[in-house]
Amino acid sequence: MIAINGSYKFIIYHIKTNTMLYTFSITSNESDDFKVFFTAHQGIKMSELHQAIQKALDYDPLQMASFFICDKDWQKEAEITLMEMDESQNIQLMEEVTLGEVVQNDEQNILYLFDFFSERYFFLSLISIDDNSTEETFSMDVSGTVPPQIQIDSENLDELLTNDDSDWKQDEFDDDISFENIDDLEDY
């Protein structure tokens, strides 16, 4: 990591080959001065991109996160998750998807859900495509005030910390049910 005028630059690796390079900006609606620019080759796995973002922003990489492929109006079209949560949904895993598979056009937008508790996102916008690159590279520049990774307001925190079961009433259950064997259950 190199600090330059309050900004941080990460150069992860640099390999010569024939590939496409994508340059994205990352912004947040929470911090006007927060900006990230990264350049990545088409073969980088979304899990590697996730790890790089987490490291560059000094976030805990064990927190859940997802990428959402979006149209030009930021409408979600597909989800790419860190780990499989629900087998019934058609969701791709970060480890199995490359950035080149995600970029569908030259106006590609991606949402990065970095705070599952409060559903907070970063906005990734494709700035340029270099389709004649001979370098497989990944670099990231971070500047400005980085939003905290997890933000729980006091109302949500109180709700999480107090398990108020006052609405639950014991009378809602019939304690008079009794049976001697399984065949007696047919009466209920």
How high is the pLDDT of residue 117?
Answer: 83
Token pair recorded at residue 124: 């990734």
Q: Which of 44-53, 68-77, 143-152 has the lowest mean pLDDT?
A: 143-152
3-state secondary structure of 113: strand
Q: Which of 28-37, 78-87, 97-106 has the lowest mean pLDDT?
A: 78-87
Give tens-digit pLDDT for 149-182.
887 666 555 555 665 555 544 455 555 556 566 5
Give tens-digit pLDDT for 106-153.
999 999 999 988 899 999 999 999 987 777 788 999 999 999 888 766
What does the angle CA 112 – CA 118 – CA 121 come to, to the nearest 5 degrees? 20
Cα–Cα distance for residue pair 122/28, rounded to 1 Å: 5
**Residue 39 pairs with which residues in a beta bridge?**
23, 139
| Among candidate residues 147, 143, 44, the one with its CA nearest the CA of residue 96 | 44
3-state secondary structure of 40: strand
Q: Which domains does the chain have, with CATH numbers?
A: 2-148 (3.10.290.30)
With a CB cutoff of 8 Å and minimum separation 6, the contacts of 144 are 31, 32, 33, 34, 35
**Residue 141 pairs with which residues in a beta bridge?**
9, 37
